[in-house]
């Protein structure tokens, strides 16, 4: 995979599940840059060790960054205005 290639948000399901302990791929996320609202599964995922970056499918702004180290996980969600989770 080159630095310019990406896959859809479903490819990050396992990594997101390991961080949030729930499946957030069907959660709606609002991009803080352009205001687009879309399910996390529609974001563009760039996955390079030691982490992943989910970008807005409309404007490419980074929505969520997750990096992992030994015994630690860093989450940068500044690119999101909100994340709307579906609850029973
Ligand atoms: Zn956007």
At 47, is the secondary structure helix, strand, or coil? strand
28-37 pLDDT tens trace: 999 999 999 9
| Domains in the chain: boundaries | 7-84
Prediction pTM value: 0.83
Phi, psi of 24 (to 5 degrees): -105, 10
Ligand 1 centroid distance, CA of 36 (Å): 5
Ligand 1 centroid distance, CA of 4 (Å): 18
Q: How confident is the model at residue 2 (pLDDT cuts 50, 70, 90)?
A: low
- Helix spans in 1-88 (H): 13-20
Tell me how crowded residue 86 is: count the other CB atoms within 10 A of its CB: 10
Q: Rounded to the nearest 5 degrees, what angle is found at the Cα of 84, between the Cα atoms of 48 and 71?
A: 40
The length of the chain in residues reads: 88
Give me the residues paired with residue 47 across strands: 52
Ligand 1 centroid distance, CA of 34 (Å): 4
């Amino acid at each position: 995979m080159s630095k310019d290639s990406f896959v859809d948000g479903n490819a990050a399901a396992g990594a997101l599940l390991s961080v949030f302990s729930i499946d957030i791929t069907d959660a709606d996320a609002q991009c803080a840059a352009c205001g687009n609202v879309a399910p996390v599964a529609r974001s563009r995922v760039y996955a390079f060790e030691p982490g992943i970056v989910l970008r807005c499918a409309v404007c490419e702004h980074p929505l969520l960054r997750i990096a992992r180290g030994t015994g630690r996980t860093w989450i940068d969600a500044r690119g999101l205005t909100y994340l709307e989770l579906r609850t029973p």
